Amino acid sequence: MSTVRDLVRDYSISSGDSNGDFKLEIPLWEISDSGVTALWGPSGAGKTSVFRCLLGLEEVPEMKWEYQGADLASLPTPERRLGVVFQNYELFPHMTAAENILFAAQSRKIPVEEFKARMKELAASLQLESCFDRRASLLSGGERQRVALARALIGKPRILLLDEPFAALDSDLRKEARALVKSAITSAGIPTLLITHDREDLDALANHVREIRNGKLI
């Protein structure tokens, strides 16, 4: 179990926008260190803000995130060793699919032999062989999602964070994609935090669910 404490951030102050009064207020949140924990809520509830705070992309000085004896919140973003799939996947468009994955492996300093072995596993489980050598900008939506997942998993992250990972896909593709993602994260055995507004994502993937509304867990 990892524990997030004092995730409190007042956006009306930080943005200097007097019209906005949005505030994240999560004094305590326990995230399971196995399976998929989902943070579910409607649009504007603060899901993506929580996601960015956990990644360290927004500053929350008081926050603590205890994970296996370490305080992840006190570490700079690269050292938190988190895997991440953004809503629009954010592949690097000037690189091929394989180069995107290699970039993550090199950043985490994964030894070459280990990289090759993991790449082989991921290619098989995520059906990536056909798109390895194509530039990211030329991949289809489903391929982008699978490459983004492989890129997040290659570095053996402590926790995998998925932000609305199926929102950019057509409804026909979503069912298939959910099954593929579930099988990949189950075989990787990495605790996952899923952020979604879609109940079908919960039914297909989540082992634990917390609901968020107006910046507060309920």
Partner 1 sequence: MKALGWSVLLLLLTPFIILVCYAKAWSVPSPSIYLPVLAFTVLQAGVSAILSLVLGVVGALGLLSLTDGKAQKFARLFVLVPNVVPTLMVILASMNVWQAGRGLGAIVFVHVILNAGLVATVVAGLISSKLGSMAELAHVEGASRTRFLSKVVIPLLRNDLLRIGLFVFTLCMASFAVPLVLGGSRATTMEVLIYERIRLSLDWSQALGLAGLQTMVVLILAWFLRSHNEEQMRNVSSLPLVGWAPGLHAIFFPSMIVVFGLMMRLPQAYTEMKSISGFAGDWSRLVLGSFIVSFVTGLLTAFLLLILLYVRPQGTLRRLLLGYVAPSSVLVGFSILLLWRTGGVASLVKIAIGLTLITVPAFYRLYWDATISSLTTQASVARTLGASTWKTMWSILVPQTWEQCMFLAGLAAFWAWGDFALSAVIGENTLTLAMLTHALASSYRLASATALAWILILGGSLTFLIFWGAGRVYSTRSRS
Residues near partner 1 (CB under 8 A) are 55-57, 77-84, 86, 90, 92-94, 103-104, 106-108, 135, 151-152, 155
Please identify, using beta-carbon distances, which residue of 155 and 215 lies nearer to partner 1. 155
Q: Which is nearer to partner 1, 24 or 104 (CB)?
A: 104
Give least dist CB 110 to partner 1, A.
10
Type of residue at 114: E
Buried b (16+ CB within 10 A) or exposed e, 77-98: eeebbbbbbbeebebeeebbbb
Amino acid found at 202: L
Q: Pick the closer one to partner 1 by CB: 165 or 204.
A: 165
Cβ of residue 157: shortest distance to partner 1, in angstroms? 9
Can you tell me the distance from the alpha carbon of 114 to that of 22, in angstroms, rounded to the nearest whole number?
Answer: 44
Nearer to partner 1, 26 or 84 (CB): 84
In whole angstroms, the minimum distance from the beta carbon of 179 to partner 1 comes to 25
Written as one string, the DSSP assignment of 81-146 is -EEEE-TT----TTSBHHHHHHHHHHHTT--HHHHHHHHHHHHHHTT-GGGTTSBGGGS-HHHHHH
Smallest distance, Å, CB 72 to partner 1? Answer: 12
Q: Least separation, in Å, of the C-beta of 214 and partner 1?
A: 25
What distance lies between CA 128 and its chain's CA centroid? 19
**Please, which residue, 92 or 114, has the CB nearer to partner 1?**
92
